[in-house]
Structure 1
Amino acid sequence: MVPAKGAIAALVVSMAVVVGCSGEPGDEHTVATPTEQLPPNQVAAVPLPDNAVDDAVAKLDELATSLMDSTRIPGMAVAVVHGGKTVYAKGFGVREAGGQDKVDADTVFQLASVSKSVSATVVAHQVGKGTVEWETPVVSKLPSFALADPATTAQLTIGDLFAHRSGLPDHAGDRLEDLGYDQATILDKLRLEPLDPFRITYHYTNFGLTAGAEAVAAAAGTAWDRLSADTLFTPLGMSSTSSRFVDFQSRPNRAVGHVNVDGNWVAGEVRNPDPQSPAGGVSSSVNDMARWLAMVLGNGASNGTTIAEPDALLPAISPQVISSPASSPEARAGFYGYGFNSSTSSAGRTAYSHSGAFALGAATNFLAIPSADVAIVALTNAAPIGVPEALTAEFGDLVQFGEIREDWRGIYQAAIAPINDPVGDLSGKSAPANPAAAKPLPSYAGTYANEYWGPATISEDDGALVLTLGPAQRRYPLRHWDGDTFAFELSGENAPPGSVSSAIFDNGTLTLDYFDENGLGKFTR
């Protein structure tokens, strides 16, 4: 199964179980607690090497530079937190390919799905404050919200949505966003999605988590972007961080997203993720993210500022659902908490993490090892090819073992490559050499209704058919393929270059393969 486009965190969940560090909290030099003083479930297989974190940090310049050289991505920023302090923060490369402006530790990047972990700490603040609980039913705060099954709707909690266990299909609603639908409309249309079994199915959904966050904002009586700023960004001094795209656009020191075109990184369209802001709309710098990581490692507090009570934060970073089942008896399963990957490393240590990516030009990752009191974050301005994940995994190996034990660069490059594969049933195919003739083009023209996607308009323009969809009036020229089947090319956040879908006309109906992934792609004239 090819992973859904637009985010890579769901795939990286399965990779996170092999990354981790060992050791115990301390200051600049972590001092391990004797094994006999630990509860059994905190005993790890491998002790932390002497000066583990310091030695690993000392190698980051070399690791980051070699990754930049081998992948030629335009820019990256990296920070490490240990002992409650930022012990490393540095930029590499440039903010835009061909430009002279250097990336530094204050350069603002789009976080993509790392936003989910940030948003989970906003919710944890509200849980600690008593505004909501993780177990609060969503409909008690958003009465109009519904899923296809009334029983599921009644029981669905904020935690269910942050753990991706609602039963909604993978990435439900993402392609509606591509067509220009706003957040309110997309959340309303989720009731039309087919559901898998509730609370025992893990499907990664940006708009499911967004609905959970919006329920929290409603309970707090304010907008999500204001809640994030007031309860998290401002108290921690994260002055370059925001949940609004307009703020990212206004930063003079911001990284421009890039896509790979014929082997070259090219600045292109900038993703506006406002409709799914809690799930993918945060922008930040590594200096700001280091403040956030220090708070998370500090059990919700940093430098005397308490953001979340420990018992409110712990469920978010603890396993709540199996996200990646074991494939064999000797394999470790992967887990997801509330907005965090939560897994067990090869050293027997707990670790929490998250990746984020925009196909239009962002790839991010953080990795935290609480027993070593260390966390690393890497932000890049290039489409996902595994760079931030490889760097944090290499750092994890150095902290844990004193050496890099796996080819993380090759592992993550191979794991993430399918995300950049074209989608659509006609991708990579050649049209029939002797196709059956189409009917006269005017016979296909008209408006075709669909409750989920909205109307599809087929019009004739200069001797060819054009498909128009969504509030953004996305235009897709149709080219004849065979008989009543036409082809159209796609591009954007969820459709990498080379994506080609069929449009099949059949006695007053129109089926669009790309929009039919959950059986919702049939339109009626």
Structure 2
Amino acid sequence: MGVRRVRRHRRGRARAYAAAGLASVLVATYATAAAAEPPPRSTALTAHPAPRTAPLLTDKQVADAVAKLDEQIRAGMEKTGVPGVAVAVVHKDKVVYMKGFGEREVGKAGAVSPDTVFQLASVSKPIASTVVADAVGDKAIDWGTPVTRHLPDFTLKEPWVTRHVTVADLLSHRSGLPDHAGDLLEDLGYDQQYILGHLRFEPLSPFRASYAYTNFGFTAAAEAVADAKDTTWAKLSEDSLYGPARMDSTSSSFADYEKAANKAVTHVQNAQGDWEAKFVRDADAQSPAGGVSSTARDMARWLRLQLANGKLAGDQIVPAEQLQRTHLPEIVSQPPAPPANRAGFYGLGWNVSYNDQGRLRLSHSGGFELGANTNVTMVPAEQLGIVVLTNGKPVGLADSVALNFFDTAQQGGPTQDWLPLIARIYEQEFNADRSPTDYTKPPSGAADAKADDAYTGTYRNDYYGPLTVTADNGALSVHLGPKPLRFALTHYSGDTFSFETVGENAVGRTGVTFTVGGDGQASRVRVESLDQNGLGTFTRE
């Protein structure tokens, strides 16, 4: 999400939410170009617990920033209308702030508290890398282990890359897979096994030399780790992190979130700008990348663990050396660009930057367009971190609360009005994916469609599976996915129709164009929204 960074194969959509583009805003403000390009081999970096250096922030500066949080959060909620927020701050291994605000669900009784369960979206990634760090510490697997050693059926388009792509490559988004590869398959209802098995059709950019954010590449790495431990990802997460850290309300299973009595449901804005609980987002297919649910209380425990080199309440939960490895730059995610000319990096599940004092700053945001937005930010040298959970689609609130907090601690107050800036980034990214054609307005003199039977039938596609066109009472429909999903077609002009997209990656109306031969029968059909990587053409059986 966010401002444009490197060339993308497919979607500029704000699905990563600060894993990439929004991170460039943070980088431009806080980072210095302090790290070199990572070495080409994922095993070349070695991490050791960072020595404790004297903090630059005083206890009073932190306390003053904490004292202003209530006002900043309430002001952001009033401006955006986001229904519910939960926030926790950790400083020097103590929880110095933990509160809930607003409603769990609009129009229903139930206030948000520190124990309200939120969907974390992509804040799941640094949690997942914590789990992987523990497995590496157990020597069940290594950061440099090829993924196919544990997922033998995992295949990418180029055989050499398939053989060499490692856990670290996929956790840092440097495998060469296109931006958000596989996400559209999830929208159509395909499961994790199908999606991972079909990434082999995606085009690749240069291996270990290009960055593109991929939920399912990340997921493949985590699933390889679970296989190495001979368990499921959800159970591995519970056994190695959630249980030992007493994160009792945290889970990597959607079913646990769904059955929680005290949970914040997701909200989106309707055409009038009012917030409503309209969608349910089941992210089990990409659980390591986006499927964690948790509370502010549990996340505060995880922040304490992160800031104490894997130790919590006197117990070493995660090996310090391997946890530190997750904090290192692995790939340039934001090349230097004016006006700041500062680079941004991605580590293992973290955005990695350096503040004006050259101190490591780690962050990640998460967002579901179907109704959630989260942020975690920390500066280990200051032993200071914040987590912000919200139950509304990304409009900038979660990120601006974190930015305001660190600005206030470091500068005495916000350095700028972050909320409208971040909101614009989200909105720009959302609109960037919409078709340039307004299919609600057919051109003047639009050509007539052919008879329905010119288009009806079944078409095949190696990546997306079958597409079936049916005609019922003079209305054409497209059927896609394993269920399948039905999309009513609206005629635009000639052999071009449109339908309204759905799901996390919905982009409004998209074009459906048939290629009709001399026999009067369509031989192919191209779905515009599925064709960003050249994979959206279906051929008649």
Indicate whether the TM-score tops 0.5: yes
- What fraction of aligned residue pairs are identical, expressed as a percent? 47
User: Secondary structure at the residue paired with 1:471?
Assistant: coil
Q: Deviations over 1:51-89 (max 9, x none)?
A: 111111111111111111111110000000111121111
Unaligned runs of 5+ in 1: 23-40
* Cα distance between partner residues in 2 of 1:18 and 1:400: 16
Q: Secondary structure at the match of 1:435?
A: coil
SS state at 2:87 partner? strand
Query: Which residue matches 1:169?
Result: 178
1:512 aligned residue (508, 519, 527): 527
Displacement of 1:199 = 0.3
- The aligned counterpart of 1:336 is 346
Corresponding residue SS for 2:326:
helix
The residue number in structure 1 matching 2:279 is 269
Alignment counterpart, residue 437 of structure 1, candidates 448, 460, 466: 448
Whether the aligned pair in 1 keeps the contact of 2:16 and 2:213 (CA below 8 Å) is no
Is the Cα contact below 8 Å between 2:310 and 2:317 reproduced in 1?
A: yes
- 1:269-305 per-residue CA deviation (whole Å, 9 max, x = no partner) reads 1100000000000000010000001000111111122
CA distance 1:501–1:42, shift in 2 (3 Å): farther
Query: Is residue 2:57 matched to residue 1:48?
Result: yes
Alpha-carbon distance between aligned partners in 2 of 1:341 and 1:136, rounded to the nearest angstrom: 22
Indicate conservation of the 8 Å contact 2:31/2:344, yes or no: no
Answer yes or no: is the 8 Å Cα contact 1:258–1:267 preserved in 2.
yes
Choose from 137, 147, 153 the match for 2:156: 147
SS of residue in 2 equivalent to 1:404: coil
Residues 1:319 and 2:319 are matched in the alignment: no
Q: Corresponding residue for 1:193?
A: 202
- After superposition, the C-alpha distances for 1:293-319 in whole angstroms (9 at most, x for unaligned) are 100011111112222212111121111
> What are the residue-to-residue correspondences of 1:171-250 with 2, within 5 Å?
171-250=180-259
Query: Does residue 129 of structure 1 match 2:138?
Result: yes
Find the partner of 2:472 among 461, 466, 472.
461
Conserved 8 A contact 1:111-1:379: yes
Match runs of 1:24-43 below 5 Å: none
Contact 1:425–1:500, Cα closer than 8 Å, also in 2: no
**Deviation larger for 176-185 or 13-22:** 13-22
Hey, what's the Cα distance between the residues in 2 that align with 1:500 and 1:296?
43
1:373 aligns with one of 366, 371, 383: 383
CA distance in 2, matches of 1:307, 1:499: 48
Structure 1 distance, partners of 2:204, 2:516, is 28
Measured after TM superposition, the shift of residue 330 of structure 1 is 4.5
Q: Deviations over 1:369-392 (max 9, x none)?
A: 111110000000000011110000
Aligned twin of 1:81 = 90
SS of structure 1 residue aligned to 2:501: strand
- Equivalent residue runs for 1:94-133 within 5 Å: 94-133=103-142
Q: Secondary structure at the match of 2:385?
A: strand
Question: Contact 1:179/1:470 (CA < 8 Å) preserved in 2?
Answer: yes
Following the alignment from structure 1 to structure 2, what is the Cα–Cα distance between the partners of residues 490 and 368? 37
Distance verdict in 2 for CA 1:393–1:18, change over 3 Å: farther
Residue 502 (structure 2) pairs with residue 491 (structure 1): yes
Task: Check the 8 A contact 1:20/1:400 in 2, yes or no.
Answer: no
Q: Give the distance between the partners of 1:148 and 1:141, measured in 2 at CA.
A: 18
Alpha-carbon contact 2:31-2:343 (below 8 Å) kept: no
User: Which amino acid letter does the alignment assign opposite residue 437 of structure 2?
Assistant: L
The total of aligned residue pairs comes to: 505
Unaligned runs of 5+ in 2: 5-10, 33-50, 518-522
Q: Does 2:437 align with 1:419?
A: no
Residue 276 of structure 2 aligns with an amino acid whose one-letter code is: V
Do 1:21 and 1:372's aligned partners in 2 also have CA atoms closer than 8 Å?
A: no
Q: Is the 8 A contact 1:77 1:89 kept in 2?
A: yes
CA RMSD of aligned residues (A): 2.0
Q: Would you say the 8 A contact 1:491–1:499 is kept in 2?
A: no
Q: Deviations over 1:407-434 (max 9, x none)?
A: 2112211222123326235347621121
- The secondary structure found in structure 1 opposite 2:303 is helix
CA contact (8 A) 2:31 2:342 kept: no
The one-letter amino acid paired with 1:187 is L
Distance of 1:301 and 1:427 partners within structure 2: 55
User: Is this contact kept in 2: 1:233–1:239, CA < 8 A?
Assistant: yes
Which residue in the other structure is 1:33 paired with? none
Aligned-partner Cα distance in 2 for 1:418–1:3: 10
Q: How far apart, in 2, do the equivalents of 1:42 and 1:249 lie?
A: 41
Q: Answer yes or no: is the 8 Å Cα contact 1:19–1:393 preserved in 2.
A: no
CA distance in 1, matches of 2:30, 2:93: 19
SS in 1 for 2:489: strand
For structure 1, which segment, 324-333 or 122-131, has the greater mean C-alpha deviation from structure 2 after superposition?
A: 324-333
Partner of 1:351: 361
